[in-house]
Amino acid sequence: MHYREQYVLENIANDSWRMFRIMSEFVDGFEALGEITNAVSIFGSAREHSSQKNYKAAEKTAWLLARKGYAIITGGGGGIMEAANKGAHEAGGTSVGLNIELPHEQSPNKFATIQMGFRYFFARKVMFVKYASAFVVFPGGYGTLDELFEAATLIQTKKIKPFPIILYDKDYWTDILEWIKRKLLKGDYVSPEDLDIFKLVSTPEEAVKLIIATGKKGLKKR
């Protein structure tokens, strides 16, 4: 067999097995989280330390939400994710950590009562969105921005029913929203109502009040 033909066949075989791995992540996720009916996904930097203000704010936000009966879903790692899982755990609520395999391995935090590991970002993102009534997004880097705009795109394109995307820390997020207005809205790349997806808050109490006022939203039924 020619080397090129062998290479193609091997890649087809690898892709077939990859498909089954992807399916297994969805099945495992649906089975693990299937009984969760009212959750809030909380995102933010893994680099935040327990002594920093946003770590403490995420912990309090999750604690308040868990006391109101919301499950808390995070990416399962350190920083803001750990803080949110900790707050939910200490409030006696459901604390979910959806960890991701990375080259520099992200260690699961000890506060998630439901732990899952994912190889594929997109399968993990489905779990963040499928069971969420709201997103609370604390300051973070590329991963946080990726999760933020993924959710915004799904809401904008009506692939899911709208729910609040709450941006915590006005000082951090104001410049990004101003850029969206100045460049995207002015250039007619987004519509005015697309900016209504985002809500700015500066306290855990504000975030919780917004979530409760909005009520539970689910996925769009097809």
Each residue's pLDDT tens digit in the chain (222 positions)?
554 544 444 455 577 778 888 899 989 989 989 889 899 999 999 999 999 999 999 999 999 999 999 999 999 999 999 999 999 999 999 999 999 887 765 688 999 999 998 988 989 999 999 999 899 999 999 999 999 999 999 999 999 888 889 999 999 999 999 999 999 999 999 999 999 999 999 999 999 999 999 874 433 332
| CA–CA distance, 48 with 106 (Å, rounded to integer) | 14
Q: Do 160 and 41 form a contact (C-beta atoms < 8 A)?
A: no
Q: Which domains does the chain have, with CATH numbers?
A: 37-214 (3.40.50.450)
Q: Are 41 and 73 in contact (CB under 8 A)?
A: yes
Residue 36 exposed, middle or buried by CB count within 10 Å (0-12, 13-18, 19+): middle
- CA dist list (Å): 72 to 33, 148, 210: 11, 16, 16
